[in-house]
Chains A and B, each alone.
Chain A
């Protein structure tokens, strides 16, 4: 009955099928095969990544919940906890950008509020192909509109993120969405069944045929025809989700439910299987009771539909009426569809027949874990790419090219479409190094950032992984926040390719080392494999979401030059490291060389200087150096500055001028201080063994940078600002 073709359609190997037969003691029927197909898919089971993810540091004294649940939880004091995670929705966003991105937001929001936390912030990390192509522009517009429409409608501000453009993402755009919520530490809810005879309730939107096998689709490469995958993309309704959010928080607040799990990837199947798995019980549901919005749905379709905005709730029988009343108030379906049973089995009925009867453990815990072959390709990373590249004749021209390159240019065209102020917590508007939100009725503030430079990771995965963590922590330090927890989204090609697995292994090693060095626990995350199209894999792209805490809201550091006469100080050391830089990519048209080096202990020392200075209120501003190097960082300080004030700087380093201006050496932070505080910060830096150089002063309406007396860049701030500001809107301007 079940032949090779059916197995292929379900993305299951012969040996996986044989294992299923052994585990359930017989051949599965088609519905059961569908269940295993979804739950054993890469997206749901992490079968290719689990082995390597084990090495990530997950413990910490403030960790309330580490990896393994819907989201990670960190105690932030005063009886409060933050609940956060990042998720990918890459494959759906290529097929149907608007809905793919929208439901990506919807999905991660549910992961957060299913634990009892009210979502207060969303950030997104996006990667597209170059904007010179109409198709890439179309995908980007669809994705931005999707995120905007969902996030705005549900009332959670999208406060930050990052956007990169590179050829490798043209056919495999990446949409990673991060969400953070605030909860009372003792009012967290988990996915559990507890208590035989407890009622299982289905709440939320009705089930339709959308998104069937979405999880399986995300676990395979794209071939030539992807149009036919459109039915696999889920369709979102943020209004329904807002109602669901309020109703869920209300029943949680009243303490009338036992457990709750959202229906995300693999829909009803996933929550039906995972809830009893965690509690060691079994579960029985009747599909006839599931609210449906289409006629004639088969059990297969009902179980695997990924219709959005639905939750599975377990409650004591005597509480069911109260739960249903709350959902009725919010005009949502809440139907008792089953109960908790013993025996550890997942039993599903349809039209009075049992259509699924398998051990819960087989579906959830016993998926094979693969240690796939790893083989690093021959890399020529020793060649110095700049040895034969002459110095530029016109630094000003290169500078303008860099700040107008879409990866670096102003993103206001994007974040203007997001409501980033709803909930009245946003302290720093998008464009700063990290998003900063106040916590009402407290002195504290939360900072969060998403970072991940894929050029570095392509050139040296391990270093790239470590730098991603370092950069995120550096961004937090620049707003005065100390990191408290990490979530990561690892975007890679097919794990069946040994080179990709080698990249994955190395990136995870780099991440682990860095998280340990900064002493921050990883509380969870997501792995997205199979980002390939027609055999071409994306660059290894780890996206790190790191959350930090500012103890006193008055100590938050804001970006931008403030006042004429302020001293501009560089913390850190300049080096000749142009490998993997945006500058090199512009000069040579490709990513090459060795990425910048990273000394984690030194990086941490630089952050400590910045943080101590921030906590002592010595800083007028702080900004990290990253893509585009020193010149771009300085320009950004001017653009964010009071009245777009400029600066005059004198550099003395014995380095190639282009390496000095545009190289992306790590562990550097640019700060400005009032003259009266200058000595204090220089002394502090010296004490911590961190080089600190006074580059010049804030003032005037130009950016003037001289190297050993020679003028390299002299440009009016307004001219640079216009190039930076207009770059992306220009790409989307309607041509007449």
Chain B
């Protein structure tokens, strides 16, 4: 499967995403420059983590106006597979491709650490290689990962099974302590109604090699690569 990793000015985890997809998972992968208007025929688009535009205004706000985002929106509207990681998730929220917004972490500090997340919906194109309730150990690194949505939106998300991951403890229990950034309903990742666009705050590209402490992130990429 051919992947495209979008590069905004200030993206940092673009190299990491490319390495995970190309060198670890051995999928043809290319960078997509934000100023271009060409998705180069990729089957999946990854919006990587980082500090696009220095997080000026709001994280992901300015990136959402990048020229290439027109093509990404059309691609998504036609059912193309789009994964937004961390800052990429924030861009998807700003684009309106996913509902809700990100607030500052509840402890008002940047958080970089391994967390555990639980698969809530194992039927998605991003998680079908996993089991319901399976716990994945994947790192986070963000200042603004506290997910917010209105009560009506949350109700709809829950009802439609759009919540893909929740922060949990290593045994899969949803505790206040394990929800390190304070996200409503402990939401760590969610998808659109059509199920082809997903955003997640944890970084699966940082958990794709045992060497780095956990391989649990591979499941997400492997699910994208193989057919439902």
Contact = CB atoms under 8 A, between A and B. Distances in A.
Contacts of B109: 416-417
Contact of B54 (A148, A237, A423, A426): A237
B62 to A, nearest CB: 10
A427 B53 CA distance: 29
Interface in A418-446: 418-424, 426-427, 429, 438, 440-441
A132 B26 CA distance: 53
Instruction: Among A242, A417, A420, find the residue whose CB has the most chain B CB atoms closer than 10 A.
Output: A242
A153 B139 contact: no
Nearest to B35: A329
Interface string B94-121: 0000000000000001111100000000
A421 B139 contact: yes
Instruction: Among A239, A240, A331, A427, find the residue whose CB has the most chain B CB atoms closer than 10 A.
Output: A239
B10 A239 contact: yes
Contact of B112 (A149, A240, A418): A418
Instruction: Among A149, A238, A416, A441, find the residue whose CB has the most chain B CB atoms closer than 10 A.
Output: A416
B158 interface: no
Contacts of B12: 154-155, 242, 422-423
Contact of A416 (B35, B55, B113): B113
Nearest to B111: A416
Interface string B203-222: 10110010111000000000
A438 B211 contact: yes
Interface string B117-144: 0000000000000000000000101010
Interface in A400-424: 415-424
A415 B12 CA distance: 19
B169 to A, nearest CB: 15
Instruction: Among B16, B51, B113, B206, find the residue whose CB has the most chain A CB atoms closer than 10 A.
Output: B51
B9 interface: yes
A152 B51 contact: yes
B141 A152 contact: yes
Contacts of A243: 9-10
A331 B10 CA distance: 12
A242 B10 contact: yes
Nearest to B205: A424
Contact of A155 (B13, B19, B110, B205): B13
Contacts of A421: 112, 139, 141, 203, 206, 212
Interface residues of A, number: 32
B50 interface: yes
Given A152-B51, A330-B9, A424 B110 contact: no
Given A239-B53, A553-B211, A416 B112 contact: yes
A242 B212 contact: no
A415 to B, nearest CB: 8
Interface in A238-256: 238-240, 242-243
Interface in B1-33: 9-10, 12-13, 15-16, 19-20, 23
B56 interface: yes
B212 A427 contact: yes
A37 B97 CA distance: 56
Contacts of B209: 424
Nearest to B109: A417
A420 B206 CA distance: 11
Interface residues of B, number: 32
A143 to B, nearest CB: 14
Contacts of A239: 9-10, 51, 53-56
A148 B13 CA distance: 16
Nearest to B53: A239
Contacts of B205: 424
Contact of B110 (A154, A242, A417): A417
Nearest to B24: A424
A149 B56 CA distance: 13
B161 to A, nearest CB: 31
A452 B210 CA distance: 34
Instruction: Among B19, B23, B49, B211, find the residue whose CB has the most chain A CB atoms closer than 10 A.
Output: B211
Interface string A227-245: 0000000000111101100
Contacts of A553: 211
Contact of B141 (A242, A330, A422): A422
B150 to A, nearest CB: 29
Contacts of A149: 110
Given A152-B141, A427-B211, A422 B13 contact: yes
A238 B12 CA distance: 12
Contacts of B56: 239
B112 A440 contact: no
A418 B19 CA distance: 22
Contacts of A419: 110, 112, 141
A416 to B, nearest CB: 6
Contacts of B16: 422-424
Interface in B51-93: 51, 53-56
Contacts of A242: 9-10, 12, 51, 54
Contacts of B211: 427, 438, 553
Contacts of A441: 23
A424 B20 contact: yes
Nearest to B33: A329
Nearest to B52: A239
B50 to A, nearest CB: 6
A330 B10 CA distance: 10
Instruction: Among A153, A154, A242, A422, find the residue whose CB has the most chain B CB atoms closer than 10 A.
Output: A422
A148 B112 CA distance: 11
B15 A423 contact: yes
A417 B213 CA distance: 19
B167 to A, nearest CB: 16
A435 B51 CA distance: 24
B51 A424 contact: no
A553 B12 CA distance: 25
Contacts of B19: 424, 440
Nearest to B208: A424
Contacts of B203: 421
Contacts of B55: 153, 239
Interface string B40-54: 000000000111011
A153 B11 CA distance: 9
A418 B113 CA distance: 9
Interface in B143-179: 143
A244 to B, nearest CB: 11
Contacts of B113: 416
Contacts of B13: 155, 422
A441 B206 CA distance: 16
Contacts of A153: 10, 51, 54-55
A239 B8 CA distance: 11
B144 to A, nearest CB: 12
A730 to B, nearest CB: 15
Nearest to A152: B110
B141 A424 contact: no
Given A154-B12, A421-B112, A238 B54 contact: yes
A424 B138 CA distance: 12
Interface string A119-150: 00000000000000000000000000000110
6 contacts: A149-B110, A152-B110, A155-B50, A237-B54, A239-B55, A429-B213
Q: Which 3 A-B pairs have the closest CB atoms?
A: A239-B54, A155-B12, A419-B141
Interface of B: 9-10, 12-13, 15-16, 19-20, 23, 35, 49-51, 53-56, 109-113, 139, 141, 143, 203, 205-206, 209, 211-213
Given A152-B143, A239-B55, A416-B112, 20 more contacts: A153-B10, A153-B51, A153-B55, A155-B12, A239-B9, A242-B10, A242-B54, A243-B10, A331-B9, A415-B112, A416-B110, A417-B109, A419-B141, A421-B112, A421-B203, A421-B212, A422-B12, A423-B15, A424-B19, A427-B211
